[in-house]
A and B are shown apart, each in its own frame.
Chain A
Amino acid sequence: MKRSCVVVGGGPAGLAAAISAYDAGLKDIIVLEREDRLGGILNQCIHNGFGLHTFDEELTGPEYAQRYIDEAKKRGIECLLECTVIDISHERVVTAVSPELGLIQIEAGSVILAMGCRERPRGALNIPGTRPAGIYTAGCAQHLVNIEGVLPGHEVVILGSGDIGLIMARRLTLEGAHVQVVAELMPYSGGLKRNIVQCLDDFGIPLKLSHTVVKIEGDKRVEGVWIAEVDEHLKPIPGTEEHYTCDTLLLSCGLIPENELSQKAGVALSPVTKGPVVNEQLETDVPGVFACGNVLHVHDLVDYVSEEASAAGRHAAAYVKAGEPAEEHAGIPLVPEGGVRYTVPATIDPASMDEKLTVRFRVGAVRRNVFESVYVDGARIAHKKRPIVAPGEMEQVILKKADLEKHPDAESIRVVLEEA
């Protein structure tokens, strides 16, 4: 089988990428989705708040997904369901299995990686104690409650204040469970401010910053957890332990882009984002392989996922149409400084960038009254005041091609947080 573009994943990123690649001229595109329906993780996100930027209205996750599913259907884009990609070769041969089609191999003109991310499990957090039932990642609990219609527990403690954990604090409360507390290791929340307000504050659920679970109790099912305050090195402070009697521990301690397939294709990953290193085309270091959405870096808002994925789709189409890549441009590396942890993209070639390019990044700590500045060869090309920035909220600056073209031989593009 041959296709000009294979999109791995039929969630919000994959769908938006497929639609834009199609609109940019790739008609024989194919989307491979491992679940039995399109939409990805949005299907279990039944709360509202999606689409404010894209559609100027508040949709639920499934509603937001449906808009893209409808668009893909309208275009007749081929989408295979229950189709799990098991390998991508460096030469872009995509191998997948599905109950319906068996084992298939597709020679892809381009590949768009849109596999999303997974949650950090208990084991990776090294929480000591027993290993009973009743410990769930927030997303797993969300699936049980919202898709299966079953309640994972009555008395709940949540570790980590990632957005899914916050959303689940509210959902579990509405479904009849009692959420006792949300403990967060860091001195700041990992989630969006609006979720703290709407999911915790509005329901009187306390958020304990600089606290963590130090022990889990219960042989068969969780019977309790111990929570302790941590010091500035994030180590539990002896004597601050408090016991919570509960039957459920939810973990919302971070998301990890799921790049096992990308690695099989030989794609280089960033140690910071755990996602592929991409250029201004959102192309990885493997020619013709693009990435977007949470597999690239973890987003807060699906609207930005869709926007990023559309760009990836467009660039994939351009890559296919161009045939053999022209001359290789190394691109100017973006250098995160002064509290900026990473940028996506990681390099920009001014010659091949769009008129405007959104650079997304995260900061390492909460900072107030700062400027987000971008310098090329000492010249400042972006400067934006922010009253507050936080690790839990993705930041972005928009760069203009015209500004960068003036410095084609620049050694670096510095993305900096500066005191106001």
Chain B
Amino acid sequence: MNDAYDVCIIGAGVVGTAIARNLSERQCSILVLERGDDVCSGTSKANSAIVHAGYDAEPGTLMAKYNVAGNEMMGKVCEDLDVPFERIGSLVVCTDVEDMPKLEALKERGEKNGVKGLEVIARDRLVEMEPNISDEAVGALWAPTAGIVDPFLLTIAQAEIAETNGATILTSCEAKTLSKEADGLWKIETEKGTFRARCVVNVAGTHAAEIHNQVSADKMEIVPRRGEYLLLDKRAGGHVHHTIFCLPSKMGKGILVTPTCHGNLILGPTATDQEDEDDTATTAEGLDAVRKGAAKTVKDLPLREVITSFAGLRAHRPEHEFLVGEAKDAPGFVDCSGIESPGLTSAPALGEAVAGIVSDILKLERKPEGSYATKRQGIVHAAALPIEERRALIEKDPAYGRIVCRCEEVSEGEIVDAIRRPCGARSLDGIKRRVRCGMGRCQGGFCTPKVMDILAREVPELTLESITKKGKGSEFVVGHDKDCYGEGGER
């Protein structure tokens, strides 16, 4: 059995890694367990990628508190972590005059939550801001503090910092059973062995109830709520300039239309409750609902520019509230569960808060100032550099002049960096999320074999046959040509 860790964080999504990053600034040993083959493999990888202003949640709830706090922190966090984030603002669009009072109510709720700059605007100003707004739109709630962020890079950047500061992150390592030992330590059994920790943090997303209910009599329920999305080519990215919501309903905030921070356009999500904690299949009905829902607020959507569709799962609790804190009947077991929207927005605040809770339990001291990383430099995207800087970079490292992904103009140098840096990519999806290789309009048709070659070259334990899309079982190839033929050429 391994030596005990001070903290074991179960789940390396955007919140789990935020907690890890915050804790890595304190004097403690940290183990992060992730069932996926990479960080950012669950809820954090498939969502709207937006930073909510904070007018949706009921005043006084944790959702309201962490949303507004997280929104305020996001700028600094993304600056420190070199993660794309833009405060483009959001519009809640009303298409029925009779509903206009609801916008006022939403504004009041937002103000109670501490959201700044909210304004109800009339149609003429709305059309000025969004020429493609629906002809039915009569007004909107304007929230200038809302934004868009890259959830992959935020999660990955936080994981990089945590690992740089000494945290151990184990991927493809699902925490299966959890129990308290006689010596007061938590015992966590995983597919990669048994670990012990003084404190456990449950940030297991849709799987959080499985973990929680093993140690607490106060049972928790998580209802995975699927949301389906359509992603459009960058050609369509300028169709709207802000995040466009329709007035929310009780199942969620409705179908939104928003640019992404990489210039694509995203439409979604639907909201369908299901039992399966991992099933992210899209459906014909769901995608249809996305198209129809998006058309309610935005006209002339260029749906021919769809380059991919996907679904994500929200870790929804029937209480529709975050669960944050130490379980009453399980000392040293800290929940950070039920993190559905606005979870991404709340992540920086939740990371700080939960690290604080753990620190109090374990009486952790901060590491000496300057002895740990607080910032990181992102992977340089050569194509985004001014021409002279790009020229100089290629001169220094010619791999930045070898374009691997033509659609997103990603160079070999960037892919190599994604593999070599802390918490580096080991699968094609891992590379895709770090450098966008294969995320463009051809969706990897040309670059897949090239990226496989680079991975096989860079990672000694990988061969073409063992390279995966997203971990074991998702291999791209099954063997060599003509493997099935015997000596005599017989099958």
Contact = CB atoms under 8 A, between A and B. Distances in A.
A99 B401 contact: yes
Contacts of B465: 150
B449 A122 contact: no
A15 B15 CA distance: 53
A132 B287 contact: no
Given A102-B395, A133-B475, A221-B474, A123 B308 contact: yes
A220 B307 contact: no
B405 to A, nearest CB: 10
A98 interface: yes
A217 B483 CA distance: 26
B471 interface: yes
A129 B373 CA distance: 41
Given A133-B470, A176-B484, A118 B399 contact: no
A34 interface: yes
Interface stretch (A52-60, A140-148, A334-342): A140-148
Contact of B307 (A98, A121, A129): A121
B477 A119 contact: no
A153 interface: yes
B394 interface: yes
B366 interface: no
Interface string B266-281: 0000000000001111
Interface string A76-109: 0000001010100000000101111111000000
B471 A124 contact: no
Contact of A126 (B287, B387, B402): B287
A385 interface: no
Nearest to B409: A86
Interface string A122-136: 111010111111101
A144 B465 CA distance: 11
Interface string B431-458: 0000000000111111011001100000
Interface in B216-232: 231
A220 B471 contact: yes
A126 B401 contact: no
Contacts of B469: 132-133, 220
B482 A123 contact: no
B231 A214 contact: no
A149 interface: yes
Contacts of A150: 464-465, 477, 479-481
A222 to B, nearest CB: 10
B476 A149 contact: no
Interface in B387-412: 387, 390-391, 394-395, 398-403, 406-407, 409, 411-412
Contacts of A102: 391, 394-395, 398, 401
A151 B282 contact: no
A75 interface: no
B337 to A, nearest CB: 23
Contacts of B362: none
B429 to A, nearest CB: 9
Given A130-B281, A220-B471, A137 B445 contact: yes
A175 interface: yes
Contacts of B390: 97, 103
Contacts of B279: 130, 219
B281 A129 contact: yes
Contact of A151 (B281, B387, B472, B477): B477
B478 interface: yes
A143 B491 CA distance: 24
A362 to B, nearest CB: 19
Contacts of A2: none
A153 B309 contact: no
A345 interface: no
Given A102-B394, A128-B283, A176 B449 contact: no
A152 interface: yes
Given A122-B308, A128-B282, A140 B231 contact: no
Contacts of B287: 126, 128
B478 A121 contact: no
B449 A148 contact: yes
B372 interface: no
Interface in B296-354: 306-310
Contacts of A133: 468-470, 474-476
Contact of B475 (A176, A216, A221): A221
A121 B476 contact: no
Nearest to A41: B446
A147 B310 CA distance: 31
Contacts of B484: 176
A12 B478 CA distance: 32
Interface string A105-119: 000000000000011
B480 A149 contact: yes
B225 to A, nearest CB: 18
B196 to A, nearest CB: 30
Contact of A220 (B283, B394, B412, B474): B474
Interface in B173-205: none
A128 B394 contact: no
B473 interface: yes
A139 interface: yes
Contacts of A214: 284
Given A145-B481, A220-B470, A130 B280 contact: yes
A128 B278 CA distance: 16
Given A84-B403, A133-B469, A140-B445, A124 B480 contact: no
A131 B476 contact: no
A47 B310 CA distance: 36
A154 B480 CA distance: 11
B147 interface: no
A123 B231 contact: yes
B478 A144 contact: no
Interface string B349-390: 000000000000000000000000000000000110001001
B301 to A, nearest CB: 14
Given A136-B448, A143-B449, 19 more contacts: A82-B402, A86-B403, A97-B403, A97-B411, A99-B394, A99-B412, A103-B394, A123-B231, A128-B281, A130-B281, A132-B469, A133-B470, A133-B476, A147-B449, A148-B449, A215-B281, A219-B473, A220-B470, A220-B472
11 contacts: A97-B411, A99-B394, A99-B401, A123-B231, A124-B306, A143-B449, A145-B481, A148-B452, A153-B478, A247-B478, A258-B406
Interface of A: 34, 82, 84, 86, 95, 97-103, 118-119, 121-124, 126, 128-134, 136-137, 139-140, 143-145, 147-154, 175-176, 214-217, 219-221, 236, 247, 258, 260
Closest 7 CB pairs of A and B: A123-B308, A99-B398, A121-B443, A220-B473, A176-B484, A133-B469, A84-B403
